Every structure is written in C-alpha cells, then in structure tokens.
Amino acid sequence: MAALPLLGGAASAPPPTVEVSVTGLRSAKGQILVCLTTNPKAFPDCSKDKASVRMAVKAADAGDFAVHAPAAGTYAIAVVHDENSNNKMDVAIFVPKEGFGFSRNPAITVGPPSFKSASFAVAGDMRQSIKMKYML
C-alpha cells in the first residue's frame, strides 16, 4: 500500500516566487519578454531550454510582477522590452533596437553578460530589480 504525503509537510511547499520589478522603460508600449533559466548554455535566450520559465508581461505592468520558479536553485533572468509586440528582440547590425536587462544588473560591454554574473540563488520567495538598457 502506497504511503500518502502528509499535508503541510516540506514536500507540499509551493514553488518559490521571484518578485520582479523592471525600471527604466522608455515607454509603456508593447510587452516585456521574460526568461528565467537554470541553464547557463540557454542564457539569455531561453528558447534552447525546455525547462525554462518564459512569459510576457504588458510593459505597463512591468513595475511589479511575479515569476514562479519551478524549484529552488540557481537562476538568471533576462528581459526584453518588445515594444512592437513581435515576440522577439529586434536588432540593427547586431545592435539591439529594443531594451533589455538582466537579474543582478551586471555591467554590459560587448554581447550579453555571463550566466554567472546574472545568476542568483532561489531558496524561497525573493525579489529582483532589473534596470532596462537601451542601445539605440
């Protein structure tokens, strides 16, 4: 006979929530594309990570929203201000035309930051503030 899990035990704890606030948007047009991943090889483009959490948030609501992490672990977040709502980052000669940002706000030189510079530990509910950057 299989044992039933006890209610209220550690096994029934809800997955952690990361409260995210995005600042520095240049407009309230479009949406914010959000990528939460534990996979360094899939950062910052979650399309190669089936276990990633991807979502879109209206730009007007980007000041405060929640991302539910699947479990405790080390994560990094990448966001894109998709102003024209075409579900991708538009570029001009390899330079992003739309805004972007990362958890922990690492310095941006050439190309995206490393997973390590943007990663943070999630063991329970927590908060990340992300400042948008625009190149054009």
Residue 115: per-residue pLDDT: 97
Please give the share of the chain, as a percent, with pLDDT higher than 90. Answer: 80
| 99 closest CA partner among 22, 37, 35, 40 | 22
pLDDT band at residue 13 under the 50/70/90 scheme: confident
Percent helix, strand, coil in the chain, to 5, is: 10, 40, 50
List C-alpha distances in Å: 96 to 70, 78, 126. 30, 14, 29
Residue 8: per-residue pLDDT: 47
pLDDT band at residue 79 under the 50/70/90 scheme: very high
